[in-house]
Chain A
């Protein structure tokens, strides 16, 4: 183990954390505000990845623009899903919501398989930024993009939640929907807004997936499992918690894989063991509301 190998592992893990954070931030916002456990969030990411991929491969659209377009399109798609589907389910039992989003997830995966086949596709995009070279350490340019965009997405969501009227209303509705309604807040509209913002984040995160991973119909499944772990670790609804949770998970995976023999297999398990330990000590996650109170 050398300093360079440690630095390499840490830096690359942090760029992967950017991807995890981008996916988890949108999910934690949706879950925190609407209380909808959206299993289809991973498929929103998958659709964003396919959109960015097709825009680049078939129309030569830069992945920078592709990510923005994906964010907008998946945001609109989320609005559609919310209005025609989830708004009705929200009025019923929580189990119905779980099954509904799980069903939506399976439906979207199968539609993607029918439309685009299960084969993985690689977006042969050029490096959008020059690689970072520090002695023997290399961080590819597109990994830097992922870390940067993941960070920007986090800052944008934080700004919306902390410094805008809608953010205040979202937090209010999240704390007590009934009281918020009595105070004149259109809770249904606020829920929809938070779901759409989560969708926009998922679309942008999909663009990041296309940039450093590969695109296929089930790419969202594994990523959304990590995202659920991250938001549980960070505390449901807590966006900074999602960022820190993503960093913890990615570092646990990356460092175990790098420095423990056969760690590539159980690095993922170590990350979830960490999650279990945290939940035993802080049942609401590291930054969950009740933990603070």
Chain B
């Protein structure tokens, strides 16, 4: 077979764009020959290489430690912060349980109770469950893939600092008694009428964190498809990586609708644009749609990563490869898709047509198929292997039991008639806690016991782990099992107290007792996590697992892997004898850092053929500053302090530009370098083989989803309201709309031409095209704004919607113009050369998406209202 035979890699180039765009390609032998892989390594050279690598990858000393961007540092900070928020949110739950322990209690006021349940839900979702997935993945994914780091380390660090600032801001509001009170899904009109700052804190603080989540998703997707080691084809990826890919894609399609919803919501709160006000044509149901298009997939965004952890623990416990790898991939991908067809099952009581409810009920039942498949694959693996009941496996087993119970009540509430009875009662509270504890908390803790030896090079206590498990497991069931009954007896959720003698008293007392048993279990775990554990482990692979991760170094080295291996198996440590020794000796790819730069190998998306040595970014304070200023841009508007918010936004953009300019797409000292094993790789590529291009592409897919949600809003108003647009409404000015569409098209064409001209070394013309493109873009945005200038957005939802589209497009134009000017400056000051032009490619890519946004906006503002 041609592909297994070592050959000149250039002979088998599969790049269809190679002829068209003059792409720099790999040269030399690939895959490596047996001879190369057995060649002796000179210990002296190896030691010198290791010293250089260590110096390049080491953390900064002293207080500058906090400027580190290594995935191993950021991942630990991120997960510990998320765990801290989880403890706080759990504390809120305990106070609520105390309040509900006895009837007619007055431990806390109704107002405080409202703030507590709102922040309990919001924090558990936005500050714990989703960030925890990202944190753990940032920490573990490079190790699973044998990569040095993630493709954009500074982006991870930026995401972390943004998360920390946003999280403290949102949680801090509780201390001042101004926390949001509208429940974690913030339904209007209750929350749009709220006089306090609570809803603003929720909207802006969490939007900020959502942006950080999307940043992490982009990082993880690009990491999974471009940073695999040579040879790790898509059919050999660890299942964990499959789940990361699926969940990353889900985040990309689930979070943006919520961001679009937040945008509309905040426009109503700040400027009285009536999106959710029925008096002026708005509709509160639109928020429910946008929230749950996010909210239901989010449940699976939380659940799948935990199942991914289980998918790594189960084979190690069974000591055999997973049974039905394909089935698990099927179920991960299938669940990812189907989970987007469920959102209305949170809205069964809103009076939608029965047929519509039926669609969502049917999809809710259908999603059980793929979800069930993965559980059966786990059970089959355990049955086929010789199971060692290691402690992590105990937690996974508990998870399966609890999750299955939650899944069964899920099937019940997915039936609309049953849901009408149980809606907003404690039955739902019980159901969601069963799915989330079983689907998230138990597998996560099991995973931490499993991965801790990798993370800290020490083992957690088996005894404490078992105590913690049994406390949490029994406490959980004592707390939540009775709630099913409490709910069926009619107790609504979110009430701060209840009268005596309606049959709820005993059940509530039992739940409260159980909640403290859970808390005790979690605290035992927390103590085990942080207590000093003495000396480091001796053995590197305590579970005798097969994934690359367990080739880690003890004591820890910051380089990730000493050399990047050539992989030919799903479980390399089981199937490729000698791989660890050879990795350690520096006998694979990229064993050195001669140039003193942080580097990792980028491979092709499907077959993982080496394409590039990527220079990744190192420690910096600018990422922290960028996060601080982004925080300012989101936090000041909460208090309607717009000038400082604008200043912060400008500074944030400045920080990001500085960081990109000084550390990304640097012109290399040589166009290619020898990476070992007879392979030479380019050190700079632009376009679709560059990780940065993928980063832009994936970000913009998410952005398009947000825009599509706005478009959905426009049509939603049309279907829901017979008078949209209102018969006597004023419309946007057609001439300006047309001008805008033409200007945007011209701006896009200029940008596209600039890329070509720059390649052809017609530098002057390329610069003119970039500058001209920027001017055209600004004019296009101005024309679009001018077209709606005469309309009053506070009068009715129709003009407000047109304004929203115009503002959205204008803000995106600013991004496009900044990119054009960045390229122009790059061309002038030698950062962009004819054959080192990655920024121009990325700008072009952005403009493709911008053009779609602009033209669709023009259509919706100028043409569609006439047709509707």
Are A and B genuine complex partners?
A: no
